[in-house]
Amino acid sequence: MYQGCNKTALCSQNNIAEGFYALLQEKEYSKITASEICKKSGVSRQTFYSLFSSKENIVAFILSKEYSFNPNEECKCSGTPTLKELSKGFSSFIVQKSDFIDLLEKNNIIYLMQETLYDSFNTCGGNDGCLQVDPTLSSDLAIDFVASGLTTIAKHYVKNKSEISCAQLEKMIYVLFSGEYFEK
């Protein structure tokens, strides 16, 4: 995926993302072709492949630009969010972004959200990330566990959103991650 600062390339990158997103709302991810993306976004195949190596790259770009979870912003905290702040922030995030999360889930690409969450948790607090991890544990493992768990919760929320309120979602996150669920 293109990471530079050329204004024309960045504009084309955004056009491709918008075109792809429009197509994703119309048809299945697996049936979207590079040719359709190029046509919809008004770019050549050469431009497309110079900016993105795959459809997954486009989804990752959209997630990072429009649908990424930034723990410090979403949890309204500075530094490491508490579990209560994380539960509240992520439940609000899921509810607000549920339409896009639903598209990811329906197209079996929800795992890309997990990768974006992993990156967010790994980078939000500088070199140490924003999750405080027991020094005897691998921080990569802990961050991956949290990102995977939250992604799975998001997936189940969009499947059952008519039955789950934001407050219930917040409580579910807290109970699962605090270990309270297992103490019953």
pLDDT tens by residue, 59-101: 999 998 888 888 777 777 666 778 898 999 999 999 999 999 9
Query: What is the predicted pLDDT for the residue at 78?
Result: 66
CATH code assigned to 7-62:
1.10.10.60
Q: Is the pLDDT of residue 131 over 70?
A: no
C-beta of residue 1 within 8 angstroms of C-beta of residue 61: yes
pTM for the structure as a whole: 0.84
Average pLDDT, the chain: 88
How many other CB atoms sit within 10 Å of the CB of residue 152?
Answer: 13
Give the number of C-alpha atoms closer than 13 A to the C-alpha of residue 155, restricted to the C-beta side: 17
Tokens of 3: 């990471």
Q: What percent of the residues of the chain are helix, what percent strand, and what percent coil, each to the nearest 5?
A: 70, 0, 30
Q: Is the pLDDT of residue 135 over 80?
A: no
Tokens of 99: 């339409």
Query: What is the predicted pLDDT for the residue at 125?
Result: 57
